[in-house]
Amino acid sequence: MTTWQQFARMSNEELSLRNVAEVNLACAEGLPGVDASVVNRSLQSLEEAVKRTR
């Protein structure tokens, strides 16, 4: 997964092509109670919700 530091170096154009949830979760990683496993589970849950919605 892309880190918040990598996102911070991206241009607005590059960022506009990225998944908003991925950007937000990358920024949350490292906060108390949020590690890579929480981020990965959250992304999986969101992907499943998108599939059901479609």
Q: Which two tokens stand for residue 32?
A: 């108390």
pLDDT in tens, 7-27: 999 999 999 999 999 999 999
Strand, coil or helix: 35: coil
Q: Which residues contact 18 (CB under 8 A, 6 or more apart)?
A: 2, 7, 10
Give the 3-state secondary structure of residue 31.
coil
Name the pTM for this structure: 0.76
Mean pLDDT of 36-54: 93
Under a CB-based contact definition with an 8 Å cutoff, are residues 4 and 24 in contact? no
pLDDT value at residue 16: 95
